[in-house]
Chains A and B, each alone.
Chain A
Amino acid sequence: MNVNYIFSLIVVLALFLLAYVGVEAAGLQWLFGVVIPYAAVLIFIGGFISRILSWARSPVPFRIPTVGGQGRSLPWIKPNPIDSPSSSGSVVVRMLLEILLFRSLFRNTRADLVEGDKLAYRLEKWLWLFSLLFHYSFLVVFLRHFRFFLDPVPGCVQLLETLDGFLRIEFVNDAIQVGLPGFYISGLVLLAAATFLLLRRMFSAQVKYISLSSDYFPLFLIMGIAFTGIIMRYFLKTDIVAAKALVMGLVSFHPVFDPALTKSVSGVFYGHLFFVCVLLIYFPFSKLMHLGGIFLSPTRNLPNDTRMNRHVNTWNYPVEVHTYEEYEDEYREKMIEAGLPVEKE
């Protein structure tokens, strides 16, 4: 047992209960369905902008790219333009590979003691694989949800739904029924990958040692979102048309308070929505800001060109200089009188 993850788990469960009881017992649909979602979007946008601007304002005095290959030098030494980029084109390629394929994670190693006391490093690809699965399935799930935010639903969203529903898994027995509505791959992959990332933090001794509540909380929260979503789609179904009407009310600035609609979606829906709002609010103040931060990482986005260009430290104090030429101009006559050598007569 570890207080960090128990605490995060309890917080996430409490958040769900708060929304569930809030709507089912206290009838606070207006709070969880209108006020909190609007507040969450505003806090997310404001927090995101201020966080990015605060990073943008910090000076970048030196080139500090971390390189993983030969830099450009003498013509007969073969440079590695991606791992040690010297032009902005190479930096763009490097950044794209980093953002889209998590290239540096691919080099992840793990240290182990073998044969008693020998330290050995091994390549460790599982983290890379599951991070990739996690992020891409999250992206697909997020984009699929645009069927609730857009009306009419554009063709690209429908295409994504068709592709995601490619595996027509159908299963019926007396207790459970899965298959109509169609099964989506992304939801299950998201939950499975998040579970892997969580188990890794819980059972790998080295990672567990450095994990804090702020690492577990977002994982539990995202698992909670995926779990409530899956529950609503396949098991405790809710009135989707009413749910979309509520969301479209928010999106079109005509929030819905009509109890006929707000009461026909289940408490699980409000729990799901509240989780998403908490995620949005938590986002700008947490490690999740790596979404924007990756673009501003000086160890990735700077070219390794210190031997080609002069980079002036932007926080250098503006030193007032008095050059020799100015000095001579000022004292020329006196210098000539005293017989000192001058450069200009």
Chain B
Amino acid sequence: MQNKGKIITGLVIFIALFTFPFIYRMGKAAPAPDVVLTPKALAAKQCVRSTDYMTAEHMQLLDIWREKVVREGQRLYVTTDGRAFNMSLSNTCLDCHSNKAEFCDRCHDYASVKPYCWECHIDNPKGEKQ
């Protein structure tokens, strides 16, 4: 084999890069984060839409709410089962989920998403101690 040293070095670097996630974790489990529901949310029992929809598509709901309020001037959202909500990020979502750090942020940190909403929207409308 010619240039054995160089080829083996290259291969080792490639394999190390490719298996980097395995090396980085060193076999420690990294389970999904536990999200905490506030007493208010627990009392309400259900979210604005079905739990499946909220888990996967809550950003879509927020986008539609924003569009409705900001561009169409509607503020009332009525669910299919007749419950009415004020379409508001800080006043509705964070009313039930006032524990943003243990709810929204836990998931978002795990999935590496940083919503830019909080540059303008207040993230602790009730002024609770965090």
Please give the distance in Å from B13's CB to the nearest CB on chain A. Answer: 11
| Main SS at interface, chain B | helix
Complex: chain B residue closest to A240, CB-CB:
B111
Contact of B63 among A49, A150, A180 (CB under 8 A): A180
A66 vs B31: C-alpha distance when bound (angstroms):
53
A177 on interface, CB distance cutoff 8 Å: yes
B44 on interface, CB distance cutoff 8 Å: no
A45 on interface, CB distance cutoff 8 Å: yes
Whether the pair A237, B110 counts as a contact (CB closer than 8 A) is: no
Whether the pair A252, B32 counts as a contact (CB closer than 8 A) is: no
Contact of A153 among B52, B62, B112 (CB under 8 A): B112
Specify which chain A residues have a CB less than 8 angstroms from the CB of B15 in the assembled complex: 45, 48-49
A63 on interface, CB distance cutoff 8 Å: no
Specify which chain A residues have a CB less than 8 angstroms from the CB of B111 in the assembled complex: 147, 240-241, 244
Interface residues on B, range: 35 or more
Residue-wise, chain A 163-186 has the 8 Å CB interface mask toward B (1 for contact) of: 000000010100001011100000
Please give the distance in Å from A263's CB to the nearest CB on chain B. Answer: 11
* A52-B56 in contact given A172-B63, A177-B64 (Cβ < 8 Å): no
Complex: chain A residue closest to B24, CB-CB:
A150
Whether the pair A147, B55 counts as a contact (CB closer than 8 A) is: no
Flag the segment in A54-62, A118-126, A334-342 that touches B: A54-62
Complex: chain B residue closest to A174, CB-CB:
B64
Please give the distance in Å from A236's CB to the nearest CB on chain B. Answer: 9
A261 on interface, CB distance cutoff 8 Å: yes
B120 on interface, CB distance cutoff 8 Å: no
Residue-wise, chain B 1-36 has the 8 Å CB interface mask toward A (1 for contact) of: 111100100110011001101101101111111000
A149 vs B110: C-alpha distance when bound (angstroms):
11
Whether the pair B22, A172 counts as a contact (CB closer than 8 A) is: no
Contact of A157 among B22, B25, B112 (CB under 8 A): B112
B86 on interface, CB distance cutoff 8 Å: no
A290 vs B115: C-alpha distance when bound (angstroms):
39
* A252-B60 in contact given A56-B4, A161-B112 (Cβ < 8 Å): no
Whether the pair B60, A237 counts as a contact (CB closer than 8 A) is: yes
A146 vs B22: C-alpha distance when bound (angstroms):
12
Interface centre among B10, B14, B55, B112 (most CB of A within 10 A): B112
A248 on interface, CB distance cutoff 8 Å: yes
Contact of B25 among A59, A147, A248 (CB under 8 A): A248
Residues 49-86 (chain B) with a chain A CB within 8 angstroms:
52, 55-57, 59-60, 62-64, 67
What 5 A-B pairs have minimum CB-CB distances, sorted nearest first? A149-B21, A245-B32, A180-B59, A153-B112, A147-B112
The interface of chain B, by Cβ under 8 A from chain A, is 1-4, 7, 10-11, 14-15, 18-19, 21-22, 24-25, 27-33, 52, 55-57, 59-60, 62-64, 67, 107, 109-115
